[in-house]
Amino acid sequence: MRVFVTRFLPGDALDRLRSVADVQLWPEDRPVPTEELRAQAAQADGLLCTVVDPIDRDLLAVARRLRVISNYGVGYDNIDVAAATARRIAVCNTPDVLTNATADIAIGLMIAACRRWWEAEQLLRENRWGSWSPTLLIGQPFSRQTLGIVGLGKIGQAVAQRARGFGMEILYSGRRRPETEKQLGLTWCSSLEELLRDSDIVSLHVPLTETTRGLIGARELRLMKPTAVLVNTSRGAVVDQAALAVALRERWIFAAGLDVYEREPLPADDPLRELDNCVLLPHIGSAETTARIGMADLAVDNLLAVLEGRRPRACVNPEVLD
């Protein structure tokens, strides 16, 4: 079994993989160039890739031996799943193991954006902190506010659980109404518009699909309160980033906290970089030891399961397994 792995992974999962398969590992800590990725995929039975590897139709067309694409991440918008399914290639991902880590960073971004953490730290580091003052860096409250969760999947529910501890009222929108609605004390909004109008903080937890691309644009940002905060830990393209930059500059909303961007890494000239009311993280939602090691274990388990004819724990197109 030949397997191509596009990045070095934390923990010992790679050693486990090496003990049973011929592993080709891209040695550099930067994305594999497209041509190299294609050449490697053409010879591989299994591919272990990350969010930065576009697994498109053209790549799949040359990957004649490929039986499994194991994505190191829960989101799999980097993969053309329909094209993989048509070729009976299993697509696997890593849910659950990163739920807590991502929910934690969402809460962190909410607090940082509400309380002007970035501006405060800049002020101190640049030695502009004159004295304590009753009016210094007054932000928006966080505890006991109304939180709107867009996309109540596993991460959205983990955010709701945490928000309860902060005494928040929690709204959510979306077609799915999970059983936890009652248990978590959530209020369902029949429309996104209603949620945006009524929330003090809006947190995005939807996957990137053709339906959610650009879900939050100028019109939606205009519906939010001028005191509101927007947090995005899902995928950058769920938000129209140019519209968000205008909304933040012109104070249609109070602040934003972002971990993900339309283009990653965020281009040097992106207008968001100039805005003080925007907390920017470099896509680190799952970047803690338990999550990243758990992701490596699950990605390797998924990959080996398919290659060895067993059912993987997490497969997004299980119809190819039958």
Give me the residue whose beta carbon is nearest to ligand 8YV.
Answer: 73
Q: Provide CB contacts within 8 A for 1, sequence distance 6+.
A: 20, 21, 22, 45, 46, 307
Residue 103 CB, shortest distance to ligand 8YV, in Å, is 12
Note every long-range contact of 171-176, with CB atoms under 8 Å and residues 24 or more positions apart, other chains counting: 171/146, 171/147, 171/195, 171/198, 171/199, 172/148, 173/148, 173/149, 174/150, 174/206, 176/152
The Cβ of residue 96 has, within 10 Å, a number of other Cβ atoms equal to 15
Catalytic site residue from 67, 115, 205, 283:
283
205 annotated active-site: no
Q: Provide CB contacts within 8 A for 26, sequence distance 6+.
A: 4, 5, 6, 7, 32, 36, 40
Catalytic site residue from 193, 264, 274, 308:
264
235 annotated active-site: yes
Residue 200 CB, shortest distance to ligand 8YV, in Å, is 26
Nearer to ligand 8YV, 73 or 153 (CB): 73
Catalytic site residue from 115, 116, 205, 235:
235
Residue 287 CB, shortest distance to ligand 8YV, in Å, is 7
169 annotated active-site: no
Query: b/e map of 196-206 (b: 16 or more CB within 10 Å)?
Result: bebbbbbbbbb
Residue 70 CB, shortest distance to ligand 8YV, in Å, is 11
Nearer to ligand 8YV, 196 or 316 (CB): 316
Nearer to ligand 8YV, 3 or 223 (CB): 3
Chain residues binding ligand 8YV by CB under 6 A are 50-51, 72-75, 98, 285-286
Nearer to ligand 8YV, 145 or 286 (CB): 286
Q: Provide CB contacts within 8 A for 116, sequence distance 6+.
A: 137, 138, 139, 255, 277
Among all residues, which ones are annotated catalytic? 235, 264, 283
